[in-house]
Chains A and B, each alone.
Chain A
Amino acid sequence: MSVSENPDAGSLVDHLFRSRAGQMVSHLTRLLGPEHIELAEEVTQDALLKALQHWPYTGIPENPAGWLFRVARNAALDAVRHRTLAADKSASLAAEHFRNAEALTADDAELEEQLRDDELRMVLMCCHPAISHDARVALSLKTVSGFSVNEIARAFLADEATIAQRLVRAKRQIRESRIRFELPAGEDLNSRMDSALEVVYLMFNEGYAAQSGEDLVRQDLCGEALRLGSLLATSSVGTPQAHALVALMAFQAARLPARVDAAGELVLLPDQDRSQWDRSLIALGFHHFDLCAAGVQVTSYHLQAAIAATHARAQDGSATDWNLILDLYDQLLELSPSPVVELNRAVVVAKVKGPETALAALRPLAGNRSLRNYYLLPAVQGQLLFEIGDELAASQCFREALQHPCSEPERRFLQRKLAECLKTQA
């Protein structure tokens, strides 16, 4: 007399709760109105909690996402009815929306399309100019990506109270500025899209900076940034620039598995074992790279993606087309000059024109304030000096680099370099 069930029913794809939480919050925010975003979050969290309380006993339902969705919608509807009785005008308006939306649930494909649109509007709303810059990433992660406050804090190595504060402020800004849940148009859309891409890239970089062995939630940021980037790029308002960013992120993410070797030591790009690069991400990168060429405008994302694509095309480190990469860096430096770009360009100069020329290119960066605490400047100088045979000066540079903040694998890498200098000197 045991329970018989379909054993196929009841598996959950990775991160289903996280991504569905984002979709449900977005969808309910559209139905309830942005001023009720907290209610949307509340009923979504309650729906997930109900699953956690029921599924251990009932097993996972055949369509877990649909189950969660129905529970959240019903709870939202109950809350709206409750508030309508309390004569809240905006709530009765929301109830009207709900009735109109009821018809949508019939067709799954149509609903999925609607959900993607809801998510898109949510990302763009999180990047509204009325919301302060530092809150945009946190708000996106909380509402569209289903991260908890605690997870956002862990991902950004920040204080939980700070993140919570930021979110409270952002939601107040949404209410006070009466931000609407709609697709912006014209010039407004362009600037909103730029800001959204910035948020996505920031998310990616934070995840990319995470070291192996660190909190997984930090590495998850890369995947989430790719998901949001693809959402923006393939949406009705997608731009070549968005495709360029997705290409760039996909190429970089593909290299993540080769970034450290079996012993946990840092491996620089030219020395990486390319068989470890993620082929499907490289393919995704080239897919979006082709699409980013559609426009006439060349943006910084385009150039960075082109640099990453050039690396991805090379069979091994020695086959890298450094001349092309240097040309791309020259364009990048002209388009968006920054000390970090100059520094990266110098590394390429060394490959094309030799270490002396590269050292000369680095000279103007000495004393630059924004590179003051950046270990890479002395580290690159050290490497170039080592290459021209000045081990003494090189060892001084590596010592200086070690004074600056860097990750454990980076520290060990610098120490190995320093030891090499001292050995050659002796």
Chain B
Amino acid sequence: MAQYLLLLYNDPSDWKKMSPEDMQKAIQKFSAWREKIRSQNLLVGSHKLADEPGKVMRGKSPVRVTDGPYSETKEVLGGYFLIEAPNYKAAVDLARDCPGLEYNGTIEVREVDPMLPRK
């Protein structure tokens, strides 16, 4: 089984306007989706990333440090799930049901490359 990183992007201003009832519904959908993966022992870990501070560093001598990446896009990387799946297609299929998509988010699916040298 290989490991896959699901990176969840969303626009936080969309969520601020939701009613308590709608927030609860969204959480319940996420919870069901997460539980489906967890109950199959496919969930390795998941974390929300802090909203602040978010610095982007570029260049060398001097290194340029800017706030961001918010300036370029409204969507921010909210958090990630590290999951196991037999292959890339299976990982994409698991991500397909993620409620983040229903709430106008974007998901990037990346395979962890173990890069094992052949014996």
List chain A positions with a Cβ less than 8 A from chain B: 1-3, 5, 7, 10, 12, 15-18, 20-21, 45, 48-49, 51-60, 146-148, 150-151, 217
Query: Which residues of the other chain, A, contact B35 by a CB distance below 8 angstroms?
Result: 7, 59
- For B8, B15, B20, B84, which residue has the most chain A Cβ atoms within 10 angstroms? B20
Whether the Cβ atoms of A55 and B31 lie closer than 8 Å is: yes
For B44, list chain A residues within 8 Å (CB).
Answer: 1-3
5 smallest CB-CB distances across A and B, nearest first, come from A148-B19, A56-B30, A17-B24, A17-B20, A21-B20
What residue in chain A is nearest B19 (Cβ atoms)? A148
| CB nearest neighbor in A for B26 | A52
What residue in chain B is nearest A220 (Cβ atoms)? B21
A146 to B23: give the CA distance in the assembly, Å: 12
B88 to chain A: which residues have CB within 8 Å?
none
Interface pair A147/B19, CB less than 8 Å apart: yes
The reply on B16 being an interface residue by CB < 8 A is yes
CB-CB under 8 A for A57 and B48, given A2-B84, A52-B23, A150-B19 = yes
Q: Is the interface of A mostly helix, strand, loop or mixed?
A: helix
Flag whether B2 is at the interface (Cβ < 8 A).
Answer: no
Q: Which residue of A lies closest to B103 (CB)?
A: A52
Tier of interface size on chain B: 35 or more
Nearest CB on B from A274, distance (A)? 32
B15 with A49: CB separation less than 8 A: yes
Q: Name the A residues within 8 Å of B51 (CB-CB).
A: 53
| Chain B residue with the shortest CB-CB distance to A4 | B38
B87 to chain A, nearest CB (A): 18
Residue numbers in B under 8 Å from A18 (CB-CB): 19-21, 24
- Select B15's contact among A15, A53, A55, A146, beta carbons within 8 Å: A53
Q: Chain B: which residue is nearest A16 at the CB level?
A: B24
| B21:A52 contact, CB within 8 angstroms | no
CB of B15 within 8 A of CB of A151, answer: no
Query: A48 CA to B23 CA in the complex, in Å?
Result: 7
Q: Contact between A5 and B38 (Cβ–Cβ < 8 Å)?
A: yes
Give the most central of A12, A53, A146, A147: most B CB within 10 Å: A53
Q: Is the CB of B30 within 8 A of A48?
A: no
Contact partners of A60 in chain B: CB under 8 A: 27, 31
Known: A1-B44, A3-B46, A17-B21. A56 touches B16 (CB 8 A): no
If A51-B27, A53-B15, A60-B31 touch, whether A148 touches B46 (CB-CB below 8 Å) is no
